[in-house]
Each structure stands twice: as structure tokens, then as C-alpha cells.
Structure 1
Amino acid sequence: MIRAFGWSDLSALHDLWRATGRTSLTEDELRVTLNQASSTLLVAEDGQGGIVGGVLGTFDGRRGWIHRLAVHPDHRRDGLGTALVADIERSLTSRGALRVNLLVMPANGSGLAFWQRLGYIPFPDVLCSKAMVAGETT
């Protein structure tokens, strides 16, 4: 079952992010993100109520952005990632998103293949980033 994130899910969401090799957002970082009306965080539960998937989406007034899609390794290749993406796409387009964007790390070939199967096209854009806090690397 896919549903909206609730704060009681925070610990399980952190466990999911760790299981998938993702850096966890702190509670404060997540609160800042979710306090924006343009943000939606969805989670997927297994049959026992455990959190086995999640996706964060934001809307910038024109484009939707997908952030942090994660599916527990034990639940991959059963359509859960595709279902999470479909639900977040519906949420973003209902707000008026004309296009949905996301970032994929160059070394993540399987991730890129997943997104391409869903119709996402790689663009030759270059991501530029500047750390605003000394030592920030993420």
C-alpha cells in the first residue's frame, strides 16, 4: 500500500534509506522540506505495515522534481518503484507540473535504465553545486 508519510514513519524511513545506501535527511531537514506546500513524501508498506519504499516529490511552479526514490532491496523488481513513481507523478501533475525532472548519478547504470524504462530521457545538462557550509559534501 502506498500512502502519505506520517511522522511516526521517520525511524522506518531512515532504516529504508540506510538499507538502500542513501544518506538520511535529518528530522529538521525533512521538516523544512515537508513544510513547503509543494512537497509530497509517499511511503510504501509491506503486508505487515513495514516501510519498504518511499519517494519525495517537489513542485517549483513549473516542473516537478523527484527526489530520493528508495525501494528496499528485498522488494525490488516487483513493480513497487514503478508504482511509487506513478503516484508521485500524479501528485506533481495535479499541481500543474508540465515536466518532471530528476537527477541520477553517472555511476548508477541500473538506476538510469529504470528511469529510461519509465520514459525519462537523459539530458546533457551539467549539474553545478556550491557548498555553503564548510565541509559540506552531499
Structure 2
Amino acid sequence: MSASHIRAAGSADLDTVLAFWRTAAEGTSISDDRAGVERLVERDPGALLLAERDGALLGTVIAGFDGWRCHLYRLAVHPRHRRQGIGTALLAAAEERFVALGGRRADAMVLTGNERGRLTWDAAGYGPEEQWRRWVKPLTG
């Protein structure tokens, strides 16, 4: 089996990414639609990273940097390709991106009930900061 490679997503990848998330990602987001992902790629072309092998999408991570904080979202690996180092490679690429941009600390959005996800993030050296609580307000109906 050939090795996977990681690259930034382009607008031609977005429908494939959205379909992939329905299979591989845990939970849904208010931004999980064509307009939301298109806006991300237009605003920050290097943020959505894809892991591929032989033209097939195996994994994704969003590595967003706003100039102040480094945020990780949508780390997802196809169920048939888990435990092969794809998630680790995606996180390494995201962290390299952050360092190159001057980032100092990365944070990840992890669903409380996603035990597999929590184990993955823990193994990668991330941990919860119990003193923080996420507060949200939807801006659209």
C-alpha cells in the first residue's frame, strides 16, 4: 500500500470533504455545508488539510489560525483507515503550519461524549483545560 500525502484543500474538494465528514466525522457543525467550508477555504486557503492515498480521501483536519490562537477542528479519519498514523500525520502537518505562522499554542474542539476522539487527542499530547468553558451564540437562524 502506498503512503498517504497531505495537502491543502481547494474549492474542487469541498463536496468530497462534506460527504467524507458524513462518514468519518463525529457530530455535525453549523458550518458543515458548502457555503461554510467554501468561506473557510477562501479566507484561509491552507487551513483545511487533507490526507490522501491514491486519490482517495482518508482524513481531514482544519488548522485555523486567527493571528492570536491556533484552533483545530474536524480531525477525522475514514473508519477503514484508522490506526494507521493518518490522524497523527494530519496533526503534525497542522502543528507545523501553526509554528510557521507564529502560533504558540493549539486548541482542539472535542465533543465530550466522543470517547475515541478524546483518546486520540490525549495520545497526541492534548488535554482538557477544566477552568475553561466554551460559550456560544448562534449568529444565524
Q: TM-score over 0.5 for the alignment? A: yes
**Hey, what does 1:50 align to over in structure 2?**
56
**For the Cα contact (< 8 Å) 1:38–1:58, is it kept in 2?**
no
Q: Which residue of 91, 94, 97 maps to 2:97?
A: 91
**For the Cα contact (< 8 Å) 2:9–2:46, is it kept in 1?**
no
d(CA) in 2 for partners of 1:106, 1:25: 19
Pairwise CA distance, 1:62: 2.5
The range that moved more, 14-23 or 95-104, is 14-23
Pairwise CA distance, 1:6: 2.1
**For the Cα contact (< 8 Å) 2:11–2:41, is it kept in 1?**
no
Runs of at least 4 residues of structure 1 off by over 3 A? 21-24
Pairwise CA distance, 1:128: 0.9
- Aligned CA-pair RMSD: 1.7
Instruction: Using the aligned pairs only, state the percent identity.
Output: 35
Task: Identify unmatched segments of 5+ residues in structure 1.
Answer: none
Aligned length: 133
Provide the TM-score with structure 2 as the length reference: 0.85
Q: Which residue of 111, 136, 139 maps to 1:132?
A: 139
The range that moved more, 26-35 or 94-103, is 26-35
d(CA) in 2 for partners of 1:9, 1:38: 12
Provide the TM-score with structure 1 as the length reference: 0.87
Which deviations, in whole Å up to 9, do the C-alpha atoms of 1:9-49 show, x marking residues without a partner?
222212210112453722221122222248511111123x1
